Amino acid sequence: MPTRNELKELAKLRLEEAETLFNAGLYDGTVYICGYVIEFALKARICKLLDTNEYPSSGKLKSAYAVHDFEQLLLLSGLQKKISLAHADLHTNWSIIIPWSPEMRYQPKGTISKNKAEEILDAVRDKPNGVYRWIMKYW
C-alpha cells in the first residue's frame, strides 16, 4: 500500500496530468484524473490522522478504507467539521467535485465539455479555496 508521502506525490502528479490532459483537449480524462487528486490527498490526510506511514487499505481494515467515495473519505480524514466551517468558495468547490466516481472511466468520449472540465479542474486547484489546496493544509 502507498505511504503517506507517496500519496502526496501522487496527488501532485495527478494534478499535473489533469492539467496536461485539459491543455490537450482531453476533457473526460481531465475530470477522471482530478478525482484521484482529491482521493490521494484525503488518503494522505487519513495517514496523518491515524499516525501511520501506510494507508490501511488491506487486511481487516480493507472494507473501511479501500473506498473512493469523497464523503466517506472526508469523514475518515477528520475534516468533515472543518469543511463545514470553511469559506463559502470551498463549499462551492466541494459541491462541484462531489459527483466524481471512478466509474467515470466508462463514460464515452465527449461526455464532459471543456467548460465542465475547467470548472472541476479549477475547483480542485483554486488558490486558496480549491479542494486540493485546502486538504494540503492538513496532510
Per-residue confidence of the chain (139 residues) as pLDDT tens digits?
799 999 999 999 999 999 999 999 999 999 999 999 999 999 999 999 989 888 877 767 666 677 889 999 999 999 999 998 889 999 999 999 999 999 999 999 999 999 999 999 999 999 889 999 999 999 9
Q: What is the CATH number of the domain that holds 106?
A: 1.20.120.330
- What pLDDT was estimated at residue 53? 83
Query: Which domain, by its residues, includes 26?
Result: 4-136
Q: In the prediction, which pLDDT does 55 show? A: 81
How many Å apart are CA 131 and CA 91, to the nearest integer? 9
Task: State the Cα angle at 10 between 127 and 138, rounded to 5°.
Answer: 50
The answer to whether residues 135 and 38 touch, using CB atoms and an 8 Å cutoff, is: yes
**How many domains, the chain?**
1
Cα distances (Å, whole numbers) of residue 55 to 7, 18, 38, 61 = 9, 23, 15, 10
The dihedral built from the CA positions of residue 101, 72, 54 and 15, taken in this order, carries a sign that is: positive
pLDDT of residue 1: 78
